[in-house]
Structure 1
């Protein structure tokens, strides 16, 4: 492996632009942006060459996914089989247990994921090492427009569009929810990956026209105590389904993978 991680970025959207710009400016010691993969022509807006996925695998030793769950499903195994590492931002894809198993068993590349818009995952992992958590609940509250999905019937869409206060859109497990909201509930998958059990995490998705900040509340109890984490993020102005903090979580993960400088792990 080279001393400097040669990173290829997949996706030039709300997350990718921030991550790619920081990499291009060498703001992550030990990592450089080598190329960008996106199905849209980027022209002069791209700070690195825009290439096809196959060429990115030849140029890079690390692929950073910032384009959605479909990329992980379609390309994840090929990335790892080529010997290239993969950093996943769209953790919702890993709620497909068969896919997750294949990714973990494919090599020689290694797969990593970022916690994204939620904190406390390291603590949940520490508690899980002692014994299973008794109860884990996640409540995610977002603007109604960011939660609309093609599968919704007219009654539910009408409830979202006419809501004057919080409305529960769906409740289920971390196995079920990310499939229904592929761009809005990666946090559910991140919590489940930390806990180690998709079915143990109970998720509520709430639409609130007054939710000027995207809110995630994690409540858990286990053999060592009880825990509650709450975050309230500003949504990205270009893509309100994504919190503005997410690309910076990706950059922190990149810094850890590059292995430069001291930090809390």
Structure 2
């Protein structure tokens, strides 16, 4: 399976290098797609989008919500499979409708930095939930956003104690924190209800690990998952495990047996 990696940052670069080294059985790197092709990719092949869609069997989106909105429908429309990492983009109805419209390619979702989604999805199918909440706690400075005024941004950079930044429906929170709240979108998809999932974002200057606590109560039972991930050194807004989640998903799509899906 030939894989084009969209993006070459903290997620895309490790994924592309692992594919180039042959670390994923049944998959090989077709090339890397970058917004600025002239910046290169550590000696790996850099492709234009048209070239990537022509050469690849799978486009692995590792470049953020904006890139998915721009490229996703084009890839599946050309008959290529698409692996989505930036699930928060699907909170935009136009992006979502474009990706679920009939097309020869298929869309696959990557769990990224969290687990338990398979159990949540099974429970949602059994009878749904009365309550679902995901609380994400990250290093305060990594949560500064362009929409914040100077005062709030300064409070985050100089924070000495935890601060709850936002609480609301997953759709609202994932739009407000596009690089940090894709996990909220993943939980909402698993629970099959964007607006029923409450997402909470907490900034904590003392944390060394990114924390995601998922609590759900429904017909099938009561669940609580707590994940504490080491932040990515290259991009502290993401978790270091995410590139490996992408590689696991690619391995499953490449046809390996006995792989958790």
TM-score (norm 2): 0.96
CA distance in 2, matches of 1:208, 1:184: 14
Measure, in 1, the Cα distance between the counterparts of 2:219 and 2:173: 27
Is this contact kept in 2: 1:77–1:106, CA < 8 A?
Answer: no
Aligned-pair RMSD on alpha carbons?
1.2
Deviation at 1:152, TM superposition (A): 0.8
Secondary structure at 1:198's aligned position in 2?
A: coil
Q: Does 1:204 align with 2:206?
A: no
Relative distance call for 1:181 and 1:87 in structure 2 (3 A) is same
Q: What residue number does 1:46 align with?
A: 43
Report Cα offsets for 1:151-192 as digits up to 9, x if no partner: 112332233123211100111111101111111111001111
2:255 maps to 259
1:73 maps to which residue? 69
Which whole-Å CA distance do the structure 2 matches of 1:44 and 1:177 have between them?
32
Asked if the contact 1:116/1:187 (under 8 Å) is kept, the reply is: yes
Deviation at 1:96, TM superposition (A): 1.5
Q: Provide the C-alpha distance between the structure 2 equivalents of 1:122 and 1:43, rounded to a whole number of angstroms.
A: 37
- From 78, 81, 87, give the equivalent of 1:82: 78
Runs of 4+ in 1 over 6 A off after TM superposition: none
Q: Kindly indicate whether residue 100 of structure 2 is the aligned counterpart of residue 104 of structure 1.
A: yes
Query: What does 1:148-227 correspond to in 2, within 5 Å?
Result: 148-227=144-223
For residues 123 and 41 of structure 2, the distance between their equivalents in structure 1, rounded to whole angstroms, comes to 48
User: Counterparts of 1:263 and 1:91 in 2: how far apart (Å)?
Assistant: 22
Q: 1:44 to 1:21 in 2, by over 3 A?
A: closer
**Does 1:34 pair with 2:30?**
yes
Distance 1:62 1:130 in 2: 32
Cα distance change, pair 146–44 in 1 and its aligned pair in 2 (3 A): closer
Say how many residue pairs are matched: 260
Provide the residue aligned with 1:130 in structure 2.
126
1:228 and 1:60 mapped to 2: Cα distance?
39
SS, match of residue 171 in structure 2: coil
What is the distance in 1 between the residues matched to 2:215 and 2:94?
Answer: 27
Unaligned 5+ segments in structure 2 are none
Post-superposition CA distance 1:26-78 (Å, at most 9, x none): 1111111011111233446133x111101111111110110111111111111
CA shift digits 1:127-154 (9 cap, x unpaired): 0111111100010001111111111123
The verdict on how the C-alpha distance between 1:21 and 1:168 changes in structure 2, with shifts beyond 3 A counting, is: same
Cα deviation, 1:220-243, whole Å, max 9, x if unaligned, reads 011021000001111011110110
3-state SS of 1:199 partner:
coil
- Alignment match of 1:15 (pick from 8, 11, 18): 11
The answer as to whether partners of 1:91 and 1:190 remain within 8 angstroms in 2 is yes
Report the equivalent of 1:56.
Answer: 52
Contact 1:80 1:106 in 2 (8 A): no
